[in-house]
Structure 1
Amino acid sequence: MADLFDTGAAVPEHAPPRPLADRLRPQSLAEVVGQEQVLGPEAPLGVMLASGALSSLILWGPPGVGKTTIARLLAQETDLHFVQISAIFTGVPDLKKVFEAAKLRRQNGKGTLLFVDEIHRFNKAQQDGFLPHMEDGTILLVGATTENPSFELNAALLSRAQVLVLERLDGDQLERLIQRAEQDLDTALPLTDQARRSLLEMADGDGRALLNLVEQIAAWRVDAPLEPDALSARLMRRAAKYDKSGDEHYNLISALHKSVRGSDPDAALYWLARMLTGGEDPRYLARRITRMAVEDIGLADPQAQSICLHAWEVYERLGSPEGELALAQAVTYLALAPKSNGAYVGYKAAMRLAKKTGSEPPPKHILNAPTSLMKDQGYGAGYDYDHDAEDGFSGQNYFPEGVAREELYQPVERGFERELKKRRDYFANLRAKRRET
């Protein structure tokens, strides 16, 4: 059974040619393109290999950045037997056989590096199954995931493995891959410089996707180098990486929210467009945009909430794609609106004070007394009707007796809230005068 998962099986004599991406797979860690932040001499893997103390790892990064290749080469560098499985196709019985084979291997003096692709797809019980074999040295685990390990992996597993973040390849690194491919193919790609740059954009940071595209292009027979438009006509642009329930979802909504908060309408529109082109539900965006108005614009521009609600309603009436323009208008308005979280901060401070003071009753003078018994108990006694007071303001205390007044709402000197600050200060001064008299 172990042979099913092991690598290095003999290739039949008349097998079809290996794909370009497989032929160009690095033969040493020094040949890996990119990922200096984990492979460099002072980076985590560089230090581990230099000290001869490799620990279990979780490789977290987007597709096509070298997770499988790095795991394979780590086994090679440390003289461990390399076993690769996928969480998608491997069940508990298969795992047991892998662990049994690793135990036999260990008894014979050979360690096992178990590479688990898509490790986040294992459930909690399956993830727990790795722990005893990691602890007793039966396996050295290297897991690969495209999802945030903090959300997808058990704390117990994370405590026994170091998480290394792999990054999408940049333009220079992708260009190095193209040059390697051209050497292997012994031909230059029939592309103009601009078309070559377009090809790098199509790859979207994915080295494997790039090499697959290169292999297609190299097979074309053309009379002259292709321009970007001709290249796009022949190739389908790779869909942007976006998972509506995964890490990219949270990353992009965070980018949109912070762009609005940072008063950058151009960046805000860009992130809105990224989410919409990725397939995000516009209704979700409408909710989040309205939340931005409440949290970050607040009373500095009370109209902002209405604009967001109206944009939401317009989308519900028009649908896509026309309704999405209303969301774009709302995002633009929010980005350029004056910002204040004064009411938001004040509300959170009020919640903390409410929890701290527990069940303290209101002062009796602001309680209604509909019965004689309640009047006898002092309900409503001494209440000053504000409309009858000078300036329409009595200045009475409305906090519970024994609870010190706190200035929970701190308006800012921006937008409409500047006017609210004047009103607040006005009443604060009157209250102080009433106390003096």
Structure 2
Amino acid sequence: MADLFQDDPPPPARDDAPRDDAPLADRLRPRTLGEVIGQEHITGAEGAIGRMVAAGRLSSMILWGPPGTGKTSIARLLADSVGMRFISVSAVFSGVADLKKAFAEADRMAEAGQRTLLFVDEIHRFNRAQQDGFLPFVERGTVTLVGATTENPSFELNAALLSRAQVLILERLDHQALSALLDKAETLEGPLPLDEDARAALIASADGDGRFLLNQAETLYNAKIEAPLDPAGLGKFLQRRVAVYDKDREGHYNLISALHKSLRGSDPQASLYYLARMLTAGEEPLYVLRRLVRFASEDIGLADPQALSQCLAAKDAYEFLGSPEGELAIVQACLYCATAPKSNAAYAAQKAAFRSARETGSLMPPQNILNAPTKLMKDIGYGAGYSYDHNAEEGFSGDNYWPAEMEPQTYYTPVERGFERKVKERIAYWDKLRRERS
């Protein structure tokens, strides 16, 4: 790290052009913020970084995101965009002495009118006392701190430091962003030796990590492969299992179908297997969670009302923890759904009720249950004769709530499983009272 802390001021301009023999990922490093792929929500004109750059002033920030999403590139480009001096240190290799040198040099440069952006990679690896050492220099503007971390800042960074920095979340690169990275690689190096299915499988295997994807691509280029590989050949060549996601996404839909049907069939072992297949293939965890939430309503419903709560809690836990810690919450929700009593009564009731609503149009409800906020409406009979159920015996009036032109319908038929057994008993009891009181 000695070259980062020279006593003499650095040259005013910095040549970032990579060598011709540099790794592919370095040669494709973005040269402007506009070239950063997949993080437009913060680098775009309406994003936090875009607005700061437009204003010409940066505040200290923590870049939180998975590996290979552009944290280091963004930090370098931020300094260039506002004409700041850039210093980079790594919490893995640097200690307090290195930081003191960096701060002292930043003080000298500030006196000469040159502002300093200090990029700290893996900032969460500094202990609490070391993190406290940043505070006075950040507060008086000696440096603008840009920290990078893959860990949840609320757990790993001091509250005092967090209060002086804005936390910006970098997203895992999606399929479209990773595909754009491969497009850039192919523009520079030529077509990859892959068919369309293998290219999609390579992207899926990257798990949102752009640098990993480009390293894999560079391995393929260096091998000088003549005939294009299919997914099986690619998996064998890279010595790692690669998910088969063909161009029409059949593999994707096959796996989600297998997961859904295994859950419906109350097989927790098979359900967990297909869940693992999807997540290890690079599927978006939030997509899997959306399917589990839907399953909880469609195939469990009121047979176990807690299933929906479990799935929504898993969604919250995953969004809070991220990968890989949050994936355990997804597993828990999957196992809960697989072992819960099943009922599609709510799903069937929805379809029947919606069909009936479309067929019956605009039938007026009976007048006794209409609201009457004005005198005229009361005078013409709105709300007249309404029976307040709480005043009735057993809290049940037995009134008719259906339009006069329509016979009462039965859409929801609970099953004899789980909590719906109790619901079925209640409905049967109310039907009995209704017949007696009519």
**TM-score higher than 0.5:** yes
Per-residue deviation, residues 318-344 of structure 1 (Å, max 9, x unmatched): xxxxxxxxx999656424457xxxxxx
Shift of the alpha carbon at 1:420? 6.9
Shift of 1:45: 0.8
| Structure 1 runs, 4 residues or longer, greater than 4 Å off | 5-11, 263-278, 296-301, 327-332, 335-338, 412-424
Whether 2:199 is the aligned partner of 1:199: answer no
Matched, 1:109 2:113: yes
Q: Retained in 2: the 8 A contact 1:5–1:84?
A: no
Q: Which residue of 2 aligns with 1:3?
A: 3
**Deviations along 1:46-76, whole A, 9 cap, x unmatched?**
1111122210010000000100000000000
Q: Residue by residue, what CA displacement relative to the aligned partner does 1:158-182 show, whole Å, maximum 9, x if unpaired?
A: 1111111101111121121112112
2:162 is the counterpart of 1:162: no
CA contact (8 A) 1:60 1:165 kept: yes
Residue in structure 2 matched with residue 120 of structure 1 by the alignment: 124
Match of 2:240 in 1: 237
- d(CA) in 2 for partners of 1:5 and 1:414? 74
Change (3 A) 1:132 1:234: same
Change (3 A) 1:331 1:273: farther
Unaligned residue ranges in structure 1 (runs of 5+): 241-255, 279-295, 302-326, 339-411, 425-437
* Residue of 137, 162, 166 corresponding to 1:133: 137
* 2:225 paired residue among 219, 222, 245: 222
Write the mapping of 1:220-299 to structure 2, written as runs, cut at 5 A.
Answer: 220-237=223-240, 270-271=274-275
CA distance in 1, matches of 2:184, 2:303: 58
Instruction: Return the offset for 1:213.
Output: 0.9
- The one-letter code sitting in structure 2 at the alignment partner of 1:55 is S
> Is 1:62 the equivalent of 2:45?
no
Q: SS where residue 210 of structure 1 aligns?
A: helix
Distance 1:215 1:152 in 2: 34
Q: CA 1:239–1:38 in 2, change beyond 3 Å: closer, same or farther?
A: farther
Count of residue correspondences: 292
Partner in structure 1 of residue 52 of structure 2: 48
SS of the residue corresponding to residue 183 of structure 1 reads: helix
Question: What is the match of residue 375 of structure 1?
Answer: none
Are 1:178 and 2:198 an aligned pair?
no
Amino acid at match of 2:220: I
Quick one: distance in 2 between partners of 1:38 and 1:17? 32
Q: In structure 2, which of residues 94, 102, 123 is the aligned counterpart of residue 98 of structure 1?
A: 102
2:339 corresponds to which of 331, 334, 341: 334
Query: How far 1:237 sits from its partner (Å)?
Result: 3.2
Identify the match of residue 26 of structure 2 among 1, 22, 26: 22
SS in 1 for 2:173: coil
Offset at residue 42 of structure 1 (A): 0.8
Structure 2 CA distance for partners of 1:206 and 1:160, relative to 1, 3 Å: same
SS in 2 for 1:85: strand
Tell me if structure 1 keeps the 8 A contact 2:116–2:142: yes
Q: Is the partner of 1:58 in helix, strand or coil?
A: strand
Please provide the CA RMSD for this pair: 4.3
Contact persistence 2:45–2:51 (CA under 8 A)? yes
Secondary structure, aligned partner of 2:86: strand
CA distance in 1, matches of 2:60, 2:4: 23
Gaps of 5+ in 2: 244-258, 283-299, 306-331, 344-413, 427-438
The Cα shift of 1:4 comes to 3.3
> Larger radius of gyration, structure 1 or 2?
1
Task: Give, as a single letter, the amino acid of the residue that structure 2 aligns with 1:92.
Answer: V
* 1:208 aligned partner, one-letter code: R
Equivalents in 1 of 2:195, 2:302: separation in Å?
Answer: 51
Would the alpha carbon gap of residues 149 and 31 (structure 1) be closer, same or farther in structure 2, given more than 3 Å must change? same
1:111–1:274: structure 2 CA closer, same or farther, 3 Å change rule?
Answer: same
Q: For 2:221 and 2:137, how far apart are their aligned partners in 1?
A: 46
Does the aligned pair in 2 maintain the 1:268–1:335 contact within 8 Å?
A: no
Deviation track 1:85-138 (CA, whole Å, cap 9, x = no partner) reads 111111111111111111111111111100000111111111111010001010
Contact kept, 8 Å, 2:341 with 2:418, in 1: the verdict is: no
In the other structure, the counterpart of 2:322 is none
Give 1:299 shift.
11
Distance 1:329 1:35 in 2: 31
Superposed CA offset, 1:205-255 (max 9, x none):
111111111111112233321111111111033899xxxxxxxxxxxxxxx
Answer yes or no: is the 8 Å Cα contact 1:269–1:331 preserved in 2. Answer: no
